[in-house]
A and B are shown apart, each in its own frame.
Chain A
Amino acid sequence: MKKHMIYLAALGCITALTACADSSQNVTLPDGKLDKCTLRFSWWGGDDRHEATLAAIKLWEEQHPDITITPEYGGWDGWTEKVSSQISGGTAPDVMQVNYDWLVSLSPDGNGFYDLGLLSDRLDLSGFDEEVLSFGRMNDKLNAVTVSVSGRGLFYNSESYRKFGASYPETWDDLFALGKTMGEKGCYPLDLDIQSGGTAWYLAVVYVQQHTGREFVSMEGELGFTEDDLKMALDFYKKLEDSRVIRTVKERIDEDGSAALYQSPEFISGNVAGALEWGSSVGKYEMVLPAGVLEAGPLLSDADGNTDGWMIKPSVLYAVSKETKYPDEAAAFMDFMLSDPECAKILGTTRGIPVSRRAEEALEAAGLLRGLARDNDEMLSALDVVTISPYMELPRIKEICNSAIEKVSYGKADSSQAAKELYTSAEEYLRKVRK
């Protein structure tokens, strides 16, 4: 009897769990009407993005008094975890700003988000290139729409550079030389981190891609770098530290704790005078320095002027929850955020240069297509860029790469050992997630 009870309880648990997963298939279909409702909209970002988005929501509510928007926003750290748990718990916001890799991790079969192909009556995608739309497709289902395409660029504190009589580097050799001009005198020309952003690994990947022509991870999730390439990346990073171009991992943690670079007193005071950041997110760095002090610098090339290897990706995308009870309303709001000319003027370039033609034209006409995001965008447009694989953005891959850099920085492993471990771990993990 007791044994039967245990079996029954176990069966109950598994049935309930299966039921949880099954409930995801019950999608509310659009009915063509805009009903009175409250939608939840979530995004991450810095203060500039928060303020602009709240103002855009205000405009939406003035235009649509029946559809109220409840905003949910915060910084990037911990945001993936928050939204993942909401999605798996069936409590995701109706409309979400999503990151590129979430499509792979949260919707590998295309069923993790609402199929936006069903919402074409409310969501006008005529102003989007097919290539841009393809970033949001999983298993032939349109899961998300790209807001902007962006890449990381180099941004410098012009006052600090001027103080040392230094000019912005154009080649990798110029960058290393700045260690002597600035780093050895107590002002670091650049900063790279191994936090969630992982700028250290990003720049190392650019360097290796430029020198080898191979991509770190392919769009299909295959590791493109060889073990030697990974060693080259780690050696490059270590050389940056040794040349005093950047702070060591230890110096960085000692000085900043767990704070992000734009919150670091060293960056705000100009002792750290450079950042590698997405054009779509550079506003938060700009805000903490006096107006006009932060400037975009050239994307680095080798001595022969080869500028390959720099990367772009959809910086952010919008998706609708598959659990939403208001697909029409969510689609209408998403369309507003993506393409409404007035909304575009309010949002400016806080999420990068919009890829929606309607939004871009509105910004152009209003003279708002300027600033660091635009400068960075133009520099990247002039290059033969690599589209980042969503697999490169997966948190586990970032953690594996960051961990290798940390070991090399702390001297716990030489670059050969660390590259070997990195290669094995990354290969194993990518094989697992490709299944």
Chain B
Amino acid sequence: MKKRNYRNPVGVGKYTGLLLITPFIIGFAVFTLYPFAASFALGLTDFDGIRQPRFIGTENFTDMLSSSDFRNAAAVTLKYTFILVPLKLAVSLLAAVLLNAGIRGIGVYRTIFYVPSILGSNLAIVIMWQFLFTSGGLADQLLGLAGLPSVSWYGTGSGAMLIIVLLRLWEFGSAMILFLNALRDIPGEYYDAAKVDGCGRINSFFRITLPLLGRVTFLNLVLQVIAAMQEFSAPYMITGGGPMKGTYTIGMLIYDEMFRYHNAGYANAVSWAFFMLVTGIVLVLFAVTRRRREEFI
């Protein structure tokens, strides 16, 4: 049989591939790699954003470890992540399962559920949240109708944390889409077979759906943990990090040190420590779920 030669439509050359990805490589080097390395270099200086930086070794890192503000911000960030992520995974999974149940006009519902994710925490949302959660607001009125006492949402650390969590929980659209796509890949025969064997819906969910969603659940978990750890805009705009720094996340600390207090060297050191913390948590997640993930493959 005669061997056929295929010609590369863009012209075969040793460096063609490299040439084609050059724009990305340049962009990555300039906008990611360089700032990344520069940030570490700045973390070793007393740079204030204005004057020439002066090398001060690891002083910023030692200051950070002894700073009660940093410890508080780290604790708040972790608490926020541990509250938000499981709730968000549960809500997005529930919404995805409901939407996968052969409802008419699924596209419309999917869009409606996704809209909050697009809105983010912009000014209009902040105003809406104020309308909902300030005393005498809609949330209080609804609690009153149910015969429950009003809640100090903004005025207590736990209340303020809850309104930030609710804002992000409301934005469950992207996690839901991932679940929904994975649900559609589960063959219907599994459920039919389970039904024949007398397995109910709830049992099917726990014995078929949930195990088969293992990989996408893990993906969602990692993505949501990273996003939650980086939280900045919601507490910045809604609570200002208060009260009593109860919603003051590491993202806010970095922003304040960098832009309000002109402490750029320290802010960069915190950014690096934060990067290590997030990386560490993700690695732990990979390690503790390894066996389960291997089972799903």
Contacts and interface: CB of A to CB of B under 8 A. Distances in A.
Interface of A: 9-10, 13-14, 16-18, 21-22, 80-82, 84-85, 87-88, 105-109, 112, 195, 249-251, 253-259, 395-396, 399, 403, 406-407, 410, 412
Contacts of A249: 243
Nearest to B237: A258
16 contacts: A10-B37, A10-B41, A13-B40, A17-B38, A17-B42, A18-B52, A21-B53, A80-B260, A108-B50, A109-B51, A195-B240, A254-B153, A256-B134, A258-B237, A396-B260, A410-B243
B259 A18 contact: no
A296 B135 CA distance: 30
Q: Name, among A13, A249, A412, the residue most crowded by chain B CB atoms within 10 Å (CB to CB).
A: A13
A384 B42 CA distance: 46
A250 B261 contact: no
Contacts of A412: 244
Given A81-B260, A105-B262, A250-B155, A406 B50 contact: no
A37 B49 CA distance: 29
A21 B244 contact: no
Given A105-B262, A254-B135, 17 more contacts: A10-B37, A16-B34, A88-B49, A249-B243, A253-B154, A253-B155, A254-B134, A254-B152, A254-B154, A256-B134, A257-B238, A258-B126, A258-B130, A258-B237, A258-B240, A259-B130, A395-B261
B239 interface: yes
A82 B49 CA distance: 13
Contacts of B47: 17
Nearest to A394: B261
A81 B264 CA distance: 12
Nearest to A87: B50
B243 A16 contact: no
A403 B248 CA distance: 13
B242 interface: yes
Interface in B87-126: 126
B255 interface: yes
Nearest to A395: B260
Contacts of B135: 254-255
Interface string B153-175: 11110000000000000000000
Nearest to B160: A253
Interface of B: 34, 37-38, 40-42, 47, 49-53, 126, 129-130, 133-136, 152-156, 237-240, 242-245, 255, 259-262, 264
A390 to B, nearest CB: 14
Nearest to A84: B259
A254 B53 CA distance: 43
A81 B259 contact: yes
B45 to A, nearest CB: 8
A198 B2 CA distance: 85
A81 B50 contact: no
A130 B185 CA distance: 78
Nearest to B47: A17
A87 B40 CA distance: 22
B161 to A, nearest CB: 14
Contacts of A250: 152, 155-156, 243
B53 A253 contact: no
A82 B237 CA distance: 15
Contact of A106 (B50, B136, B243): B50
Contacts of B238: 257-258
A321 to B, nearest CB: 13
B255 A81 contact: yes
Nearest to B135: A254
A17 B242 contact: no
Contacts of A13: 34, 37-38, 40-41
B66 to A, nearest CB: 13
Given A13-B41, A254-B154, A256-B134, A18 B53 contact: yes
B168 to A, nearest CB: 17
Contacts of A259: 130
A170 B240 CA distance: 34
B86 to A, nearest CB: 27
Nearest to B55: A14
Nearest to B257: A396
A10 B40 CA distance: 9
A256 B153 CA distance: 11
Q: Name, among A16, A254, A255, A410, the residue most crowded by chain B CB atoms within 10 Å (CB to CB).
A: A254
Contact of A406 (B34, B237, B242, B255): B242
Contacts of A399: 260
Given A13-B38, A17-B38, A250-B155, A407 B244 contact: yes
Q: Name, among A257, A395, A412, the residue most crowded by chain B CB atoms within 10 Å (CB to CB).
A: A257
